[in-house]
């Protein structure tokens, strides 16, 4: 029975650093190139070559450590992790072991504005990525693409603090947001620039002892992480309910079938024979360097989330969505430099603007629509120059051609008729032509005013200012 167990999850997250070049050579750090084009003797591990540590990778990993509240170790160093695999040309991975760059840290995860949990980060360390194997089943051949060899990675390891697959997903989303805000990585799970392995175990509720853990790999999206872990909870629950034993193993998630299967048994732990990398000096981080990086750290999503609620009176829901992308939050605040009503901006952003964003599938700062556009659009509505539906039409045009709303309004003749004299003329005409309706009104059927309004709109092509027309109609009818 599922309710009898507590789920315990810890994550190991690999994140590719967004550097121009690789971690130990000057090859470009680029995704999606023709296989074996971003390579050199160093990242191919050719005999005699030596690594040179990319200072930008250090800067970014320090930024990550600070963003995750990690204790930064003033002394850390690289170690060799030795194992044979064709995608690892030196047969060792330069990683960190005894002395990681980042020590204990934490990350808060929220749901609907409520703090769910403060997740402990156990360590953050730097390492190089391996290449990629491409299998050709038809010809029973395998090919190696070394482009990814030497791409800088940070590995972030959490304590077994997470208590559900949903928490795991929330953690990853929060982590992604944090790393995007700090411009450490583009965090694209589908391109592999963010990868997650999970350790999961179950234990009887109330127990303090950890159950036997199983490692789950190959979960390539946030949804996959949640689904994979949910499946694993079910699988382990079934075994435990029958009095069975969970075996120590690594399992692979199959997105298509929605199941996990055994990859390898871990009964015999692989010995990586770590030892300090003799080709690289220790990494020494001094206070000056750390201060500089801390000072350059942008506002983190959690802080911004709270600030948007406090300063602008946004709801938790609004603040969460707006801070989900840094560009969206920036857009929100920049709009408010030229427009004073945060609720209206939030409503437009979360409504019609996001609808369009989702269709064009671009970040808002990559579109032609700018905060100046939105501020002007809202001003036009407030001033009664355009109606709500017209504003939506103009919004779509802004995205298409980047013209300012007022320009579009004039060009397309979408402005509302707010000229009193002209409206009085139309109203008089409508009243004249609908005597029966006027009599109805005078007889007490006030609803007929909508019918009269409809006629005004028909004549003006929908451009009459509705508030003014209502006022004029009432004035005439009630007198």
CB-count exposure of residue 217 (10 Å: 0-12, 13-18, 19+): middle
**Residue from 44, 285, 290, 321 binding other proteins (CB under 8 A):** 44
Rounded to a whole number of angstroms, the minimum distance from the CB of residue 13 to other proteins is: 25
Closest CA to 324 of 294, 301, 307: 301
- Is the four-CA dihedral 200, 91, 127, 129 of positive or negative sign? negative
**Residue from 2, 86, 204, 313 binding other proteins (CB under 8 A):** 86
Contact 381, 393 (CB under 8 A): no
Q: Which is nearer to other proteins, 281 or 454 (CB)?
A: 281
Rounded to a whole number of angstroms, the minimum distance from the CB of residue 22 to other proteins is: 14
Contact 88, 76 (CB under 8 A): no
Q: If binding is defined by CB under 8 A, does position 41 make contact with other proteins?
A: yes
**Angstrom distance (rounded) from CA 141 to CA 150:** 24
Q: Which is nearer to other proteins, 141 or 261 (CB)?
A: 141
End-to-end CA distance of the chain, in Å?
A: 75
**Angstrom distance (rounded) from CA 113 to CA 120:** 20
**Residue from 2, 28, 37, 46 binding other proteins (CB under 8 A):** 46
Site for other proteins in 50-69 (CB under 8 A): 50-53
Site for other proteins in 218-237 (CB under 8 A): none
Q: If binding is defined by CB under 8 A, does position 281 make contact with other proteins?
A: yes
For the CA atoms of 201, 202, 208, 210, the dihedral, rounded to the nearest 10 degrees, stands at -30
Chain mean position to CA 195: 14
Q: If binding is defined by CB under 8 A, does position 144 make contact with other proteins?
A: yes
Q: If binding is defined by CB under 8 A, does position 211 make contact with other proteins?
A: no
Q: Which stretch binds other proteins (CB under 8 A): 10-18, 57-65, 179-187, 276-284?
A: 276-284
Contact 120, 68 (CB under 8 A): no
Q: If binding is defined by CB under 8 A, does position 84 make contact with other proteins?
A: yes
3 state DSSP class of 258:
coil
Q: Are strands 92-96 and 132-136 parallel, antiparallel or unpaired?
A: unpaired
**Residue from 47, 388, 413, 443 binding other proteins (CB under 8 A):** 47
Q: Which stretch binds other proteins (CB under 8 A): 266-274, 407-415, 422-430, 438-446?
A: 266-274
Q: If binding is defined by CB under 8 A, does position 49 make contact with other proteins?
A: yes
- Phi, psi for 332 (deg, rounded to 5): -55, -50
**Residue from 10, 89, 105, 342 binding other proteins (CB under 8 A):** 89
Residues near other proteins (CB under 8 A): 41, 44-53, 80, 82, 84, 86, 89-92, 144, 271, 273-275, 278-281
């Amino acid at each position: 029975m599922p309710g009898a167990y507590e789920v315990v999850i810890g994550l190991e997250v690999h994140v590719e650093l967004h550097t121009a070049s690789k971690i130990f050579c000057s090859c470009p750090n680029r995704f999606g190139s023709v296989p074996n084009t971003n390579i050199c003797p160093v990242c191919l591990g050719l005999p005699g070559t030596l690594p040179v540590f990319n200072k930008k990778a250090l800067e970014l990993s320090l930024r990550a450590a600070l963003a995750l509240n990690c204790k930064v170790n003033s002394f850390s160093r690289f170690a060799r992790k030795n194992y044979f695999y064709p995608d690892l040309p030196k047969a060792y991975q330069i990683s960190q072991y005894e002395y990681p760059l980042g020590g204990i840290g934490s990350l808060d995860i929220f749901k609907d504005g409520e703090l769910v949990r403060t997740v402990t980060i156990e360590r953050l360390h730097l390492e190089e990525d391996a290449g990629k194997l491409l299998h050709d089943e038809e010809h029973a051949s395998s090919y190696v693409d070394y482009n990814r060899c030497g791409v800088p990675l940070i590995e972030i390891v959490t304590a077994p603090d997470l208590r559900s697959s949903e928490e795991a997903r929330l953690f990853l989303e929060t982590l992604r947001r944090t790393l995007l805000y700090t411009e450490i990585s583009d965090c694209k799970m589908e391109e592999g620039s963010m990868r997650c392995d999970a350790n999961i175990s179950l234990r009887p509720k109330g127990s303090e002892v950890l159950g036997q853990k199983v490692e789950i790999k190959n979960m390539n999206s946030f949804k996959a992480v949640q689904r994979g872990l949910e499946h694993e909870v079910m699988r382990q629950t079934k075994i435990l309910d029958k009095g069975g034993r969970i075996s120590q193993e690594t399992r692979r998630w199959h997105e298509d079938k929605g199941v996990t299967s055994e990859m390898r048994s871990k009964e015999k732990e692989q010995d990586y024979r770590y030892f300090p990398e003799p080709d690289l000096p220790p990494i020494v981080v001094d206070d000056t360097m750390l201060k500089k990086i801390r000072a350059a750290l942008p506002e983190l999503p959690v802080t911004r989330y709270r600030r948007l609620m406090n300063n602008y009176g946004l709801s938790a829901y609004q603040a969460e969505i707006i801070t989900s992308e840094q560009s969206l939050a920036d857009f929100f605040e920049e709009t408010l430099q030229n427009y004073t009503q945060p609720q209206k901006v939030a409503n437009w952003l979360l409504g019609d603007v996001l609808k369009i964003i989702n269709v064009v599938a671009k970040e808002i700062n990559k579109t032609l629509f700018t905060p100046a556009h939105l501020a002007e659009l809202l001003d036009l509505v407030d001033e009664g120059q355009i109606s709500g539906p017209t504003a939506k039409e103009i919004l779509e045009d802004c995205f298409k051609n980047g013209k300012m709303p007022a320009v579009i309004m004039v060009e397309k003749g979408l402005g509302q008729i707010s000229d009193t004299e002209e409206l009085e003329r139309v109203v008089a005409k409508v009243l004249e032509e609908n005597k029966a309706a006027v009599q109805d009104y005078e007889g007490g059927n006030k609803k007929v005013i909508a019918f009269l309004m409809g006629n005004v709109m028909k004549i003006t092509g929908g451009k009459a200012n509705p508030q003014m027309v209502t006022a004029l109609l009432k004035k005439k009818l009630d007198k």
